[in-house]
């Protein structure tokens, strides 16, 4: 992609796993998506480990949402809406990253670098890039999901959507 949004964006998608995200109770990390740029290995990344989602933006791992991803007690997989916003235009902080699960704000992080992103990016769904070298185009098989992860309506918006817009997306129906 040569026109990735540089100062604000939203990544939005629906995801569903086969019961427990890691079939057989594996503790291996599985990536939902991984976006890398020439200067940042993790422009934006969300991965699951057990029942939790972990988020990295601009190579800063800033936190995770405990037990908001389909818990291991889920017997019937359900669709979950996930949205990640990034905004360097916030008046209250230099850079704000927010994570919403099913339209509910679950993580809100402000950090002071205010860096804009690069326009070039490589996007990989249900996997992690093999190396940080931008020209590398191979998925790392250790982080690729072969267990039945489903995704629908993956979208990148060139703005940080507001909570009402995200709630509207999450209230919609999944079109598989």
* Cα–Cα separations (whole angstroms), residue 113 to 6, 13, 46, 62, 143: 14, 27, 21, 13, 29
Note the residue count of the chain.
176
pLDDT in tens, 112-135: 666 666 778 888 887 788 777 777
pLDDT digits (tens, 9 = 90+) for 67-116: 455 555 555 667 888 899 988 887 778 788 888 988 999 888 887 666 66
Q: Are 43 and 4 in contact (CB under 8 A)?
A: yes
| CA distance readout (Å), 127 to 30, 47, 167 | 7, 9, 27
Three-class DSSP category at 97: strand
Residues 6+ apart with CB under 8 A from 167: 103
Q: Considering the entire predicted model, what is its pTM? A: 0.80
Distance of alpha carbon 104 from the chain centroid: 15
């Amino acid at each position: 992609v040569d026109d990735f949004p540089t100062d604000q964006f939203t990544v939005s998608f629906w995801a569903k796993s086969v019961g427990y995200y890691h079939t057989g109770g594996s503790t291996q990390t599985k990536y939902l998506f991984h976006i890398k740029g020439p200067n940042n290995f993790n422009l934006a990344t969300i991965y699951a480990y057990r029942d939790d989602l972990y988020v990295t933006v601009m190579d800063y791992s800033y936190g995770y949402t405990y037990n908001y991803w389909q818990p291991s007690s889920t017997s019937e997989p359900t669709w979950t809406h996930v949205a990640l916003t990034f905004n360097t235009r916030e008046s209250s902080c230099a850079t704000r990253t927010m994570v919403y699960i099913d339209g509910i704000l679950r993580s809100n992080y402000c950090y002071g670098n205010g860096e804009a992103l690069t326009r070039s990016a490589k996007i990989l769904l249900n996997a992690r890039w093999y190396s940080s070298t931008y020209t590398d185009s191979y998925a790392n098989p250790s982080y690729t999901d072969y267990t039945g992860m489903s995704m629908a309506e993956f979208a990148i918006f060139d703005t940080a959507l507001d909570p009402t817009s995200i709630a509207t997306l999450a209230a919609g129906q999944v079109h598989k």
